[in-house]
């Protein structure tokens, strides 16, 4: 299949909307990461997303809307707390899980009786969804298991020949996927940390809890509330180790690790001005927010540069620490050294 690369002028957005409305697949920018969209009312189109990504069929998709008012057409039993969270954080990097109604096919929700809904803030995403005239089911636009794409170039690398079109809208601002909160049970549960922090959620919903799987790996046979958590994620070709703590101690430990790995091509993802000899250096950013924004593109860049091992400096500094740890620990398959 030929994959067209489209700009963001009105004519192209209208064309991309028509592709979605007729059952095709379009990748598009959002403020979090690039999404791979299909008509959420069309089960065959949704099935094509799983095929294009190589995504396990039991991992449900997030339904994207262009206006908050569209939620009532997709979900039912919406609690007062859920409505408060919606008005506080939508449009934005926030996904809410609610009891689904009959309009959403099982292919989108992987047979679950709940649906994940997000209204992105990115103007291109909003214009595209509006142009399609339907809610748009969209996971991240990467091959399953790879780091999520934060530029059109990342999507082109993973999806060329697999989807109908890619809209190039520049780099994503948040850089990690949306915060997911389930409001389908007794208490709101944060299932995945992202651009909206846990503290911000608790200001609106003080009884919110953090799912235990946010920072841990899933045990054998365990069925997490968020099916995506049990899969291998964000895995670059390089073997990643996180070295976490005060940045002086982190520097000493990474120097030791670089010496032990002196026969291999090493990379270091920094959060400081620390210099390292004989390693490929990429700067993640000084704040956790900036580090989140650059994380996935850095992991892809290390692969492109041929790094075999990557050591990632990390120190928790702000509300984005949870979102970074959640992605970084998975990228490192939980290999974390605390100093
Ligand atoms: P992605 O769009 O690639 O960020 O993946 C969407 C994430 O949302 C996956 O981890 C899914 O497991 C999760 N998700 C989607 N729908 C639901 C749902 N109804 N209940 C729980 N988790 C969901
Ligand atoms: Mg994903």
Residue 218 is predicted with a pLDDT of: 67
Yes or no: say if 53 and 139 are a contact pair by the CB < 8 Å rule.
yes
Residue 215 is predicted with a pLDDT of: 81
Question: Does 233 score more than 80 pLDDT?
Answer: no
Nearest C-alpha to atom 9 of ligand 1 is from which residue?
Answer: 228
Residue 235 is predicted with a pLDDT of: 81
The rounded Å distance from CA 139 to ligand 2 centre is: 5
Rounded Cα distance between 39 and 113, Å, is 19
State the CB neighbour count (10 A cutoff) for residue 148. 27
Helix (H) or strand (E) holding 190: strand 189-192
Q: Report which ligand 1 atom has the smallest distance to the Cα of 35.
A: 2
Strand pairing category for 266-270 and 280-283: parallel
Pocket of ligand 1 (CB under 6 A): 59-60, 62, 97, 109, 112, 114-116, 139-140, 177, 180, 191, 225-228
Q: Comparing C-alpha atoms, which of 3, 195, 225, 278 is closest to residue 116?
A: 225
Nearest C-alpha to atom 14 of ligand 1 is from which residue?
Answer: 60
Rounded Cα distance between 37 and 45, Å, is 9
Residue 2 is predicted with a pLDDT of: 97
The pTM score is 0.96
Q: Where are the domains of the chain?
A: 4-210, 239-338
12-25 confidence digits (pLDDT tens): 999 999 999 999 99
Handedness of CA 72, 74, 77, 78 (dihedral sign): negative
The rounded Å distance from CA 126 to ligand 2 centre is: 20
CATH topology of domain 4-210: DHBP synthase (3.90.870)
Q: Given pLDDT bands bounded at 50, 70 and 90, which one contains residue 226?
A: confident
Q: Give the mean model confidence (pLDDT) for residues 259-285.
A: 96
Question: Does 154 score more than 90 pLDDT?
Answer: yes
What is the average pLDDT score of the chain? 95
Ligand nearest to the CA of 178: 1
Helix (H) or strand (E) holding 243: strand 239-244
Q: Give the mean model confidence (pLDDT) for residues 54-64.
A: 96
CATH topology of domain 239-338: Rossmann fold (3.40.50)
- Give the chain's radius of gyration (CA, Å): 20
281-329 confidence digits (pLDDT tens): 999 999 999 999 999 999 999 999 999 999 999 999 999 999 999 999 9
Question: Does 217 score more than 80 pLDDT?
Answer: no
Q: Give the mean model confidence (pLDDT) for residues 205-210.
A: 97
Rounded Cα distance between 115 and 71, Å, is 10
């Amino acid at each position: 299949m030929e994959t067209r690369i489209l700009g963001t002028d009105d004519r192209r957005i209208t064309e991309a909307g028509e592709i979605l409305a007729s059952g095709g697949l379009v990748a598009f920018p959002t403020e979090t990461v690039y999404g791979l969209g299909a008509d959420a009312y069309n089960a065959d189109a949704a099935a094509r997303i799983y095929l294009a990504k190589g995504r396990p069929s039991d991992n449900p998709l997030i339904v994207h809307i262009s206006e908050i008012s569209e939620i009532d057409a997709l979900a039912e039993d919406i609690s007062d707390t859920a409505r408060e969270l919606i008005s506080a954080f939508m449009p934005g990097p926030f996904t809410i899980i609610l009891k689904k109604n009959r309009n959403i096919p099982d292919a989108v929700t992987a047979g679950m009786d709940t649906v994940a809904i997000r209204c992105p803030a990115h103007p291109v995403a909003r214009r595209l969804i509006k142009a399609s005239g339907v809610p748009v089911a969209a996971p991240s636009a990467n091959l399953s298991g790879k780091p999520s794409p934060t530029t059109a170039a990342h999507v082109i690398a993973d999806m060329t020949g697999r989807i109908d079109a890619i809209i190039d809208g520049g780099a994503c601002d948040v850089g990690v996927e949306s915060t997911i909160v389930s409001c389908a049970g007794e208490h709101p549960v944060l299932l995945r940390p992202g651009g909206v922090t846990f503290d911000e959620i608790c200001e609106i919903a003080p009884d919110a809890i953090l799912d235990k799987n946010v920072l841990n790996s899933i045990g054998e046979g365990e069925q997490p509330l968020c099916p995506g958590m049990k899969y291998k994620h964000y895995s670059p070709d390089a073997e990643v180790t996180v070295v976490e703590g005060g940045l002086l101690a982190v520097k000493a430990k990474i120097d030791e690790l670089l010496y032990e790995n002196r026969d291999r091509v090493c990379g270091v993802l920094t959060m400081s001005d620390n210099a390292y000899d004989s390693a490929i250096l990429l700067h993640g950013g000084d704040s956790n927010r900036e580090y989140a924004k650059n994380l996935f593109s850095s992991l892809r860049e290390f692969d492109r540069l041929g790094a075999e091992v990557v050591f990632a400096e990390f120190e928790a500094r702000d509300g984005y620490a949870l979102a970074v740890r959640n992605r970084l620990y998975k990228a490192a398959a939980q290999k974390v050294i605390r100093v």
